[in-house]
Structure 1
Amino acid sequence: MMKSEQLEILISRFSKWADSASGFVAELLSDDSDQKEMISDRLEIFTHRFAKWTGSASGFVAALLSIFVWFVVGLVYGFSQGWERGLTIYIGVITFLMVFLIQRGQNKELSILQVKLNELIAVTKHADNRLINVEDLTEKEISAVQEIHHKIGEEDS
C-alpha cells in the first residue's frame, strides 16, 4: 500500500471520527433527557473501551509511537521553543484526560467491589448488617467502626 493511500485512509477515518464527535457534542448540548441518557451510555461504553485499550500493549505502542513522532518532529524543527511548547501542551492535555479516565475506572471498580461486599455481608448469617453501605459514613464514623472490630478481633484471639 502506497503512502498516499495510507494517508487517504487515515484522513477518512479521522473525518468519520470528527463527524461523530461533533454529533456527540450537539446531542450533549440538547435538552432532551432521553438523549442525555443515551449519551451517558455511549460515554460509558467509550470510556470503558478506551481505558481498556490504553492499558493494553497496543495502547503502549501508540504512546511510544507518539513519542517517536514528537522526537522526529523535534529533529526537523531543531527542537525549537515552538516544538517544546507544543510538546508541553500535548503532554498536559493527555495527562489531564488520563487522570479523569483513571479516576473513572477506579470509581467504577470501587463501586463494583462495594456491591459485592454488601452482598456477602447481606447473606452471611452472623454478619453485622450495619456495615452494609459503610462507604456512606464519615471518616470519623469509619474509624469508630474500625476500633470496634479491632476490639472484637483482640477478644477472639
Structure 2
Amino acid sequence: PLMDAVTGLFQPIGEQGSAALCGSVFKVEYTDCGQRRVYLRLYSGTLRLRDTVALAGREKLKITEMRIPSKGEIVRTDTAYPGEIVILPSDSVRLNDVLGDPTRLPRKRWREDPLPMLRTSIAPKTAAQRERLLDALTQLADTDPLLRCEVDSITHEI
C-alpha cells in the first residue's frame, strides 16, 4: 500500500509533460531591489517563455521571464517541466494561486485564508511612520499566509 501511494504521487515526466498545465504558488519573496518573485511548483504540463496561462478563477498571466534552480544556482530558462520549481517575477500572482487546471493538483489546496491564532495591535512611534509601517506589514503578510494585516475601519487601529 505504501509503495502504491508513493508511485501514484510521482508519475514520470513523460506522462505529465504533455498534460494540461498545473502549478501552485508556494512562496512569495521580495528581492533586495524590491522586485516581487513567486515560486511555483509545476505539477503537470510544460511552461514556456511567452506563454499566456490562466490563473485559476482570475485573469491570465503572460510569462515574460522564468528562472529555475539548477546545480545550486538560479538560472534563466525558456521551458519548465513537471516536478520543477519555477521562479516568476509577478505583482499579481498570490500565494496559493494555481496556474492552469486546479483539478490536476495532487492534493487538496490548503485553506486559503487560515484564521489567525493570535491577534494583536501595533502602532508606530510617530504618526509620520504610519505609512511605512503599513507598507512593511502588507509586504510581510503578502509573503506569509499565516500573517494578516488589517486596519480597523472605526478606530483606525492597525
Using the size of structure 1 for normalisation, the TM-score is: 0.21
- Structure with more of its chain in strand, by fraction: 2
- Structure with more of its chain in helix, by fraction: 1
Higher RCO (C-alpha under 8 Å, 6+ residues apart): 2
- Compare CA radii of gyration and give the structure with the larger one: 1
